[in-house]
Structure 1
Amino acid sequence: MTTILVTGGTGTLGRLVTERLRADGHEVRVLSRRSQPYAVDLRKGGPGLDEAVAGVDTIVHCASSPGGGDENAAAHLIAAARKAGVGHLVYISIVGVDQVPLRYYRSKLAVERLIVESGLAWTVLRATQFHDLLVQLFQNVSKLPVMPVPAGVRDQPVEVAEVADRLAELALAAPAGRVEDIGGPEVRTLDSLARAYLAATCRRRRVVKVPLWGKAYRGFCSGGHLAPGHTVGKGTFEEYLARRFGGQRGV
């Protein structure tokens, strides 16, 4: 039996990774800011982190915050892992972190580099965006009388459960470095995904494609965040919407 620490283990992805590893009979510790007995803010570190990492064979690092602090969190985690002699660090990153100059993507890429240079044995998996992140975007913009979406942008949403399966598999395997990306089954225009969301939620909005500006927008328009050669996922966006919003009445 392997002892595994999952950071961000109460989050959308980390919770599923934890469930899969426990179902396979492994001892799994969950680290998050509020989850006892390993309630640790990775951005601050501290003695609780050393306790969480002690005796761990593998760390699956899922904790992340678009608001900032990922690099400090990774530095604290790496230091504790080296001190404890952890044998394998698995990190979930995002497809396009080296192609799209978005601040959050740059931070994820910086964490990748910290891990590569850490002296630990490591595995890094990059995934395309999860279905629920698109839904969050569409929920916000559909509050308006019309539904604006960035013009010329495509996406390749992937089922979070499939990413969790792959992470659990990697956690139990030997360190593999940068592994092949995992992407959803379809590359779709953002406006077509928006219309699918509207149909699933029975909302009536006119989808308006809005041209934007800036280097990050150009990076998304060029498809730097896509993995068309790695359509590993099977679950479609419509299937996700049907599970989440089946029978919902909209406005």
Structure 2
Amino acid sequence: MTSTTILVTGGTGTLGGHVVPLLRAAGHNLRILTRHSHESADGVEYVVGDLLKDEGIEAAVAGVETVLHLAGGPKGDAEATRNLVRAASRAGVRHVVYISVIGADAVPLGYFKAKSDAERAIAESGLPWTTLRAAQFHDLVLTVVRTMGKLPVVPSPGGLRFQPVDSREVAARLVELSLGEPSGRVPDLAGPTVYGMAELTRGYLRARGRGKRRMTVPVRIPGKAGRAYRAGGNLSLRDAAVGKRTWEDFLTERLGR
């Protein structure tokens, strides 16, 4: 067992909630960079800071050898990541592990571009690095279909497909990568099944006992983003690592049906 301290950004989020106990079980002390104060306990130290505002980062990276960068948001990911790697470089960090998204360089939407730019910031930082691209988490897909399921008529975007993956499986892979040697871009991690958006929505409605009572209407995603989705730009159909837990498994666990 080792007492090496690992810095985790985004440690209080969905993915961080799975990663932190796994790293603690592996014997590591953790430092978590967060925008809000938390009481430190049981080998987990919280440091208040803000990646986008470039605040508190120097204190967060001081004395750590590995940074697991999970933090992300709708805006500013690239700038936040550049602030992080600059501080990490000055502090002599030996390994930066980053979670990105499948299709980061293929889907022309702001979220994907920000992830791609953040990947580039890490790769060009001069620091040893590992980047894992993962598919959309079951948790995110559930949020989307739950919202759509509240509409009187459920939209069904044609050509929109997903390979949703379980966030716990992504967390386990990230822990493995964090405890290993820097590996650059590693194989993507996707779920075991490709679903059309309509299939995901119907699965959710069935699990809620509402499937027979809802009408759906096909819609077309316009523009470059629509073409990228229809071409499968957000999918990884070759050479990807594949998780085991399906959308149906997740729904059964989460909704109890």
Q: Please classify the TM superposition score into its range, dividing by the shorter chain length.
A: over 0.9
How many Å separate the matches in 2 of 1:112 and 1:123?
10
Deviations 1:36-58, CA, capped at 9 Å, x for gaps: 33121110112x21111101110
Match of 2:222 among 213, 217, 220: 213
* Residue number in structure 1 paired with 2:73: 65
* Residue number in structure 1 paired with 2:233: 224
Q: Secondary structure, in 3 states, of the residue corresponding to 2:190?
A: coil
* Residue number in structure 1 paired with 2:205: 198
Q: How does 1:128-147 map to 2 (within 5 A)?
A: 128-147=135-154
Structure 2 residue 7 is matched with structure 1 residue 5: yes
1:207 Cα offset (Å): 2.6
Distance 1:114 1:24, change over 3 A: same
State TM-score, norm by structure 1: 0.95
1:209 Cα offset (Å): 2.2
Structure 2 residue 245 is matched with structure 1 residue 235: yes
1:125 Cα offset (Å): 0.3
- RMSD of aligned residue pairs (Cα, Å): 1.1
* Residue number in structure 2 paired with 1:106: 113
* Residue number in structure 2 paired with 1:246: 256
How many Å separate the matches in 2 of 1:209 and 1:237?
22
> Structure 1: where are the runs of 5+ without partners?
none
* Residue number in structure 1 paired with 2:28: 26
Matched residues, number? 245
Which shows bigger deviation, 34-43 or 142-151? 34-43
> Structure 2: where are the runs of 5+ without partners?
39-45
State TM-score, norm by structure 2: 0.92
Deviations 1:115-149, CA, capped at 9 Å, x for gaps: 01001000000001101111111111122111112
Match of 1:82 among 89, 99, 104: 89
1:15 Cα offset (Å): 1.8
Structure 2 residue 56 is matched with structure 1 residue 54: no
Deviations 1:82-113, CA, capped at 9 Å, x for gaps: 11100000000000011111111001000000
1:153 Cα offset (Å): 1.2
How many Å separate the matches in 2 of 1:35 and 1:122?
28
1:35 Cα offset (Å): 4.0
Check whether the contact 1:8–1:64 (CA below 8 A) recurs between aligned residues.
yes
1:114 Cα offset (Å): 0.5
